[in-house]
């Protein structure tokens, strides 16, 4: 017995004790964040967009100059310590008007994106899970809206209904609701086609067939199994819709059919500055730079989300 030695089970020293006997699990959210943060421009864009959003939300609490305070002695003044962004033709402080208008421009972008996402997801899901005449009819309506000229119809609808909504809700609220609904109504079609394509692919997958074999109803298949797996491309499309909505609002304001003159959105500031580009370029420069920077950062964020939410892409 003295020559016998007690043999103990071997333990791989390279494997930490807490991980022995079980595989390390990484959540899909953590994996998406790991991919996203490797996209440097997307991370930088998140920082810039967060700073820009914080500035327009919290800026008026720090820079307390009234947006409608008229000072003809400072008319068309260049940027200075007293007026960091200069003044307009009435001597109004452009920094205060930029901060106030940024709230409206960003709110229009996010609200119109929500309208387009909800409408597009519902229509695309119904079309993708259905077969026959329902799918054909919904895609016919989608193709019809895609074929319509958007800008002339935007101008026509706003021209016809803006006075009614102004009298019903008020000048600012009425125009906000009208612009959000109109822009959202003309941005849901790409989302619907994208969701439909995802549904057509996913409804034939094995996990959907297994759920159907276990007795899952069609609404349960859509809500619990298919829709969550199709949201990645939809989120990416939503970021593009935010940028498109901000540009559309700026275009309408630039054409004089957006918000009233006393509501200084970024597009309205560009419209008011167009006659003074030769003597006061700062008036248009800061508003244009804000629109450009916002749209650019949102597009980079969408690019990063596309890479992060693509399961076939290894980073």
pLDDT along the chain (315 residues), means of 10: 46 47 59 77 90 89 85 83 86 88 86 88 87 86 85 79 74 78 84 86 81 80 79 76 78 74 81 83 87 86 76 53
Q: Which two tokens stand for residue 305?
A: 């989300």
The pLDDT of residue 20 is: 46
For 103-134, write each residue's pLDDT tens digit: 888 888 888 888 888 888 889 888 888 878 88
The pLDDT of residue 298 is: 85
The pLDDT of residue 48 is: 92
Give yes or no for a contact between 293 and 48, defined as CB atoms under 8 angstroms apart.
yes
The pLDDT of residue 47 is: 92
pTM score: 0.74
The pLDDT of residue 10 is: 45
The pLDDT of residue 12 is: 46
The pLDDT of residue 26 is: 64
The pLDDT of residue 17 is: 46
The pLDDT of residue 132 is: 80
């Amino acid at each position: 017995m003295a020559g016998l030695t007690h043999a103990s089970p071997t333990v791989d020293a390279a494997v930490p004790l807490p991980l022995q006997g079980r595989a390390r699990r990484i959540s899909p959210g953590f994996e998406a964040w790991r991919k996203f943060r490797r996209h440097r421009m997307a991370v930088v864009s998140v920082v810039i967009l967060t700073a820009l959003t914080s500035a327009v939300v919290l800026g008026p609490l720090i820079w307390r100059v009234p947006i409608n305070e008229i000072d003809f002695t400072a008319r068309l003044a260049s940027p200075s310590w007293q007026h960091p962004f200069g003044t307009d033709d009435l001597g109004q402080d452009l920094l205060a008007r930029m901060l106030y208008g940024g709230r409206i421009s960003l709110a229009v972008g996010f609200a119109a994106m929500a309208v387009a996402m909800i409408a597009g997801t519902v229509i695309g899901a119904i079309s993708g899970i259905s077969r026959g005449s329902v799918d054909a009819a919904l895609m016919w309506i989608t193709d019809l809206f895609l074929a319509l000229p958007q800008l002339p119809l935007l101008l026509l609808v706003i021209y016809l209904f803006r006075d009614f909504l102004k009298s019903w809700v008020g000048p600012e609220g009425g125009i906000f609701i009208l612009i959000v609904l109109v822009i959202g109504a003309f941005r849901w079609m790409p989302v619907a086609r994208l969701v439909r394509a995802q549904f057509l692919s996913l409804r034939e997958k094995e996990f959907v067939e297994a759920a159907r074999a276990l007795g899952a109803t069609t609404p349960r298949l859509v809500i619990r199994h298919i829709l969550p797996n199709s949201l990645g491309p939809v989120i990416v499309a939503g970021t593009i819709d935010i940028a498109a909505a901000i540009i559309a609002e700026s275009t309408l304001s630039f054409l004089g059919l957006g918000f009233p003159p006393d509501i200084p959105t970024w597009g309205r500031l560009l419209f008011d500055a167009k006659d003074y580009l030769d003597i006061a370029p700062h008036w248009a420069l800061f508003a244009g730079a804000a629109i450009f920077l916002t749209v650019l950062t949102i597009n980079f964020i969408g690019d990063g989300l596309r890479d992060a939410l693509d399961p076939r892409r290894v980073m």
